[in-house]
Structure 1
């Protein structure tokens, strides 16, 4: 993978494209549950910062040892911008939001991401109107997400005000994620692996001082974390960050916004299945119908991506 300075004009290998897409579908669908486990007894911003610092150092070191040249200052700046948007802001907001609303509702709100992606790409970034089929798929997918996790059936950890805070945080995170995604192919970035590593390092470095200032932690509080939080963080480092985020970064460079946005419909399906299996959540017949409807939306958006 070479550094990208403009939107990709050639078609990527279909096997590589779908391998990365399935990775994002499944692995990122599981991250809602593990973020919840990771932050049950530990401050969210601190744990997210440690997660990305560890994953970023691993990816960056691997890239350098395998012969990837040291990025230029301009590439560090570009990668840093993406890292701040995608990891510090978007994932920081998500991890905070899950403290106020159930992970199922956070997954539901992830279904709004295609609205940001397609709208921003239409209005500002690409000046390109999505096809009618893609717009129809978007509408059907959003309906499926609503049926999958009906908001009035969810109980948050606080009152109405707490839920509004959680919803606002997750919505702000989705907006930052959409901007970062659409900026990615428009910036001069180094090769994929080292770029992902830089983004995680910068994202973690931005979050750490914020955590130390706002949360009851010290730099070495990770050594006091319970085993469940550590195990969840290790899972998120390997599967959510190193594998999943690297796949997403590749897709942001090589896939259309319509196709890329489909993961936001599949992730809640995976999240609900895992919640049912491992967290005792009830997966009703309505939720099953919602999952099927959401997948129909994915198919339509995929077919209409051109």
Structure 2
């Protein structure tokens, strides 16, 4: 299931579409906490690279053993570009950024992704203006995400310089992620599992090369990682990478950007709930209100997408 810039994908099954969205909503909301656990006592780029190399090996092997044809040179090149944008740059920035700011703040900043997705799709990639309802939902979602975390908490975790470094990294990662997402349906990619496997392998090995240059590690440092880091990495491999990333890759090829962007409003809600349950973070009344506002934004963006689809059918 893939589309190029000159082909239109058929409308996906509604159950499949929403199952993939729910996987991205819930599983990726949990990844912020587990990235923090994975890198508490281990270098962040190294652990991120190991996560993607392991997950990519599993997915690529599964695809080939189940009869998926080898990728062509053009497909390898396209998948490699997407892998570097989504995993090396975007997730690399996120993993390092979480060393400077709380996981909840990183999730909050993820709310900027729909701005990049809808703006880039409007200005450059698709030349497609979002509906007024979708724009209202985008604004409402951003307001809700902002209120999820009190602004004064931004100044409580290591000072302004650390906040600037961490926030800048996460925002840069979101921008790279938006470009990779919008490029995905415009490139010739192999089938789902094989494509995800190649993206993870390329993205992971590039990250490993960077890690070996800038972090005090060897390729075998995983052997001395603490059990908590190993357990968190395995969770991220299975639920964040194999299931979550595969669902996202499918959505990037089959779902409209404005519907896909709604996950950035739901992930902070999940991240805050898990933070309150497992990391001792308080989920205040203000945060609860912000979560409800963010979810209202998801509803409006979805309704805006549906109204546009209906007009297109007329």
Deviations 1:52-77, CA, capped at 9 Å, x for gaps: 00000000000000000000000000
CA RMSD after TM alignment: 0.9
Contact 1:4–1:188 (Cα < 8 Å) also in 2: yes
1:136, 1:68 → 2: CA distance? 43
Question: For residues 34 and 271 of structure 2, what CA distance do their matches in structure 1 show?
Answer: 10
Deviation at 1:149, TM superposition (A): 1.1
Partner of residue 153, structure 1: 153
Name the structure 1 match of 2:123: 123
- Structure 1 contact 71–190 (Cα < 8 Å) conserved: yes
Corresponding residue for 2:176? 176
Q: How far did 1:4 drift?
A: 3.0
1: CA distance, partners of 2:202 / 2:159: 35
Q: Look up the match of 1:188.
A: 188
CA contact (8 A) 1:99 1:157 kept: no
Residue number in structure 1 paired with 2:4: 5
What is the aligned partner in structure 1 of residue 111 from structure 2?
111
CA contact (8 A) 2:155 2:163 kept: no
> Matched residues in 2 for 1:241 and 1:135: separation?
30
* Mapped contact 2:141–2:297 kept (Cα < 8 A): yes
Separation of aligned partners in 2, 1:156 and 1:205: 35
Say which SS state the counterpart of residue 70 (structure 1) adopts: coil
1:16 aligns with 2:16: yes
**How much does 1:193 deviate?**
0.6
The whole-number CA distance in structure 2 between the counterparts of 1:205 and 1:44 is 14
The correspondence of residues 18-167 of structure 1 with structure 2, limited to 5 A, is: 18-155=18-155, 157-167=157-167
Q: Hey, what's the Cα distance between the residues in 2 that align with 1:156 and 1:211?
A: 29
User: Counterpart of 1:214?
Assistant: 214
Shift of 1:168: 0.6
Gaps of 5+ in 2: 309-314
In the alignment, is the contact (CA less than 8 A) between 1:104 and 1:149 conserved in 2? yes
TM-score (norm 1): 0.98
SS at 2:96 equivalent: helix
- Is the 1:156–1:163 contact (alpha carbons within 8 Å) kept by the matching residues of 2? no
What is the CA-CA distance between 1:97 and the residue it aligns to? 0.3
Q: Structure 1 CA distance, aligned partners of 2:175 and 2:108?
A: 15
Q: Distance in 1 between matches of 2:151 and 2:13?
A: 39
Asked whether the equivalents of residues 3 and 9 of structure 2 are also in contact (C-alpha less than 8 Å), the reply is: no
Contact 2:154 2:163 in 1 (8 A): no
Q: Residues of 2 paired with 1:65 and 1:153: CA distance?
A: 49
| Alpha-carbon distance in 2 for matches of 1:71, 1:102 | 40
Q: Which runs of 5+ in 1 are unaligned?
A: none
